[in-house]
């Protein structure tokens, strides 16, 4: 195993690459280590990860590192499969048949079908010229033997590096295997084109673009701030969860909303360009300089969502007629506002239009609200108590106050009902104490 030792602690040298006196400086190792996220294929689970953990523990025992484990989080990225291949089946007489057909008894032959001859029918793919013939649709791992390898250089040459990068993230969650589709990259390429035109403007008659941007120095409206900060919140959340595809979807929704605005304030557009930069860094950098900035956006802070602009002042109420939803109504949410106390009061603290505290007048007025489902926090509040160094009596009080009910299933045998039953036992699930009374 000695040949593996050097490659198993390379991440430590990244923390202190120019140190000629020690493997890694202790202060730098404590600051940078352990590695927050390790992204690698499942094939590394033993040949690298296990050996790296082994040598890290050796280094911990001799005092070189301060942690017992080298990698905090492991992500196995999914494969990008080749484009879907469509295959038709023929019997011994050369007649087209559907896979799984009763006509297929022993022997049949397969042949590739070009995608332009295929169409979707329900959950299956069929021949355009004969929709009764179903096809086998399957994506395979890219390999030279199958001839389904996508050369990234060709994609970059036609669509650009940002389009390739963006499409790879838009295909699906990082951990899932995805199927390549050349038609799909055209969609994200159009999204980048729309983003460019939103900021720079429409092309000139000769196809070139004017210098600078079409943004204004106006103060953003409340609706614009809401659209931006909802986008920031969604993109930030999805990046942290490595769900880059849904983060891109949020930016597409913002772009659709921005195209409806009469003016595009510079502060809004700059924040959106910063949001886009991890996904399309080359175009974002160009837009950043066109917006009048002299330093690279790589050194700018990532935008942070302001919760005040993420709250909705309206609620959407569904309108049903005969049990079917026929439309929706947006209504402002009224609250109990007490001017004297300068606060919002819950319903139980308002009696006949006055506050329970002090008897001050209370009015109903629409207000921005942020509604939380507090029961959704019950499990984590209970589970995280185990890791707190608190007195056990306090922990018990909190567990009892949260009061999660487990419930129980009771079975009763019913006799002499005078009727015929399929199941003479009654099953009852309850979460509260029951009092049962026998009628004599």
Q: What is the pLDDT of residue 420?
A: 45
For residue 228 the two structure tokens come to 């931006």
- Whether pLDDT at 177 is above 90: no
Which of the residue ranges 34-38, 331-335, 419-423 would you say has the lowest mean pLDDT?
A: 419-423
Cα 312 to the center of its chain, rounded Å: 21
Residues 6+ positions from 295 with CB-CB distance below 8 Å? none
Q: How far is residue 177's CA from residue 3's CA, in Å, rounded to a whole number?
A: 32
Q: What is the pLDDT of residues 130-159, one digit of tens each?
A: 888 888 888 888 888 778 888 889 999 999
88-92, 115-119, 240-244, 328-332 — most confident range: 240-244
Of all residues in the chain, the percent with pLDDT exceeding 90 is 31
Q: Is 4 helix (H, G, I), strand (E, B) or coil?
A: helix
Domain ranges of the chain: 2-75, 81-138, 190-308, 314-366
Q: What is the pTM of this model?
A: 0.64
Q: What is the pLDDT of residues 109-123, one digit of tens each?
A: 788 888 888 888 877
Q: Tell me how many degrees the CA angle 272-273-274 measures, rounded to the nearest 5.
A: 90
- Whether pLDDT at 60 is above 80: yes
The fold adopted by the segment(s) 190-308 is Isoleucyl-tRNA Synthetase; Domain 1 (1.10.730)
Q: What is the pLDDT of residue 208?
A: 87
Q: What is the pLDDT of residue 440?
A: 37
Alpha helix stretches (DSSP H) within 215-356: 222-240, 244-258, 266-276, 281-290
Q: What is the pLDDT of residue 308?
A: 82
Q: Alpha-carbon Rg of the chain, whole angstroms?
A: 31
Least Cα distance to 71 among 33, 29, 28, 23 occurs for: 33
Question: Under a CB-based contact definition with an 8 Å cutoff, are residues 185 and 245 in contact?
Answer: no
Q: Which residues of 141-163 are buried (b: 16+ CB within 10 A; e: fewer)?
A: ebeeeeebeeeeeebeeebbebb
For residue 216 the two structure tokens come to 């204004």
Least Cα distance to 402 among 423, 376, 371, 381 occurs for: 381
Q: How far is residue 170's CA from residue 192's CA, in Å, rounded to a whole number?
A: 13
Q: What is the pLDDT of residues 214-262, one digit of tens each?
A: 999 999 998 899 999 999 999 999 998 888 988 999 999 999 999 999 9
Q: What is the pLDDT of residues 359-394, one digit of tens each?
A: 777 777 776 555 555 566 677 777 877 777 777 777
The DSSP line for 109-167 is: EEEEE-GGGEEEETTEEEESS-TTSB-EEE-----TTTT----HHHHHHHH-HHHHHHH
């Amino acid at each position: 195993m000695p040949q593996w030792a050097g490659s198993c602690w390379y991440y430590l040298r990244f923390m202190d690459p120019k140190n000629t006196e020690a493997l890694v400086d202790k202060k730098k190792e404590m600051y940078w280590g352990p590695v927050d996220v390790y992204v690698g294929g499942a094939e590394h689970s033993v040949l690298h990860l296990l050996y790296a953990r082994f040598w890290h523990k050796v280094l911990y025992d001799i005092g070189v590192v301060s942690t017992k484990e080298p990698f905090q989080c492991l992500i196995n990225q999914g494969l990008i499969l080749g484009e879907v291949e469509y295959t038709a089946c023929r019997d011994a007489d050369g007649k087209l048949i559907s896979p799984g057909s009763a006509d297929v008894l022993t022997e049949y032959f397969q042949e590739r079908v070009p995608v332009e001859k295929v169409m979707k029918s329900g959950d299956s793919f069929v021949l355009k010229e004969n929709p009764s013939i179903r096809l086998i649709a399957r994506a395979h791992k890219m390999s030279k033997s199958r001839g389904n390898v996508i050369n990234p250089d060709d994609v970059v040459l036609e669509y650009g590096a940002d389009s390739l990068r963006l499409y790879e993230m838009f295909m699906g969650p990082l951990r899932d295997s995805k199927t390549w589709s050349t038609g799909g990259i055209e969609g994200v390429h159009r999204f980048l084109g729309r983003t460019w035109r939103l900021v720079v403007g429409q092309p000139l008659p000769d196809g070139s673009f004017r210098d600078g941007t079409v943004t204004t120095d106006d103060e953003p409206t409340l609706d614009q701030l809401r659209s931006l900060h909802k986008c920031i919140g969604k993109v930030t959340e999805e990046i942290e969860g490595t769900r880059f595809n849904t983060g891109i979807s949020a930016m597409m929704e913002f772009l659709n909303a921005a195209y409806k605005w009469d003016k595009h304030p510079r502060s809004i557009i700059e924040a959106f360009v910063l949001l886009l930069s991890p996904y399309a860094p080359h175009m974002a950098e160009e837009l950043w300089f066109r917006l009048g900035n002299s330093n690279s956006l790589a050194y700018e802070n990532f935008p942070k969502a302001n919760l005040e602009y993420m709250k909705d002042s309206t609620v959407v109420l569904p309108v049903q007629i005969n049990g079917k939803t026929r439309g929706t109504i947006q209504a402002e949410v009224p609250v109990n506002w007490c001017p004297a106390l300068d606060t919002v009061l819950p319903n139980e603290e308002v009696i006949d239009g006055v506050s329970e505290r002090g008897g001050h007048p209370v009015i109903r007025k629409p207000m921005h609200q942020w509604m939380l489902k507090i029961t959704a926090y019950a499990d984590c509040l209970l589970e995280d108590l185990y890791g707190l160094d608190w007195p056990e009596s306090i922990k018990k009080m909190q567990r009892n106050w949260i009061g999660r009910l487990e419930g129980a299933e009771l079975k009763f045998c019913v006799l002499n009902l005078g009727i015929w039953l399929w199941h003479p036992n009654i099953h009852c699930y309850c979460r509260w104490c029951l009092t049962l009374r026998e009628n004599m």
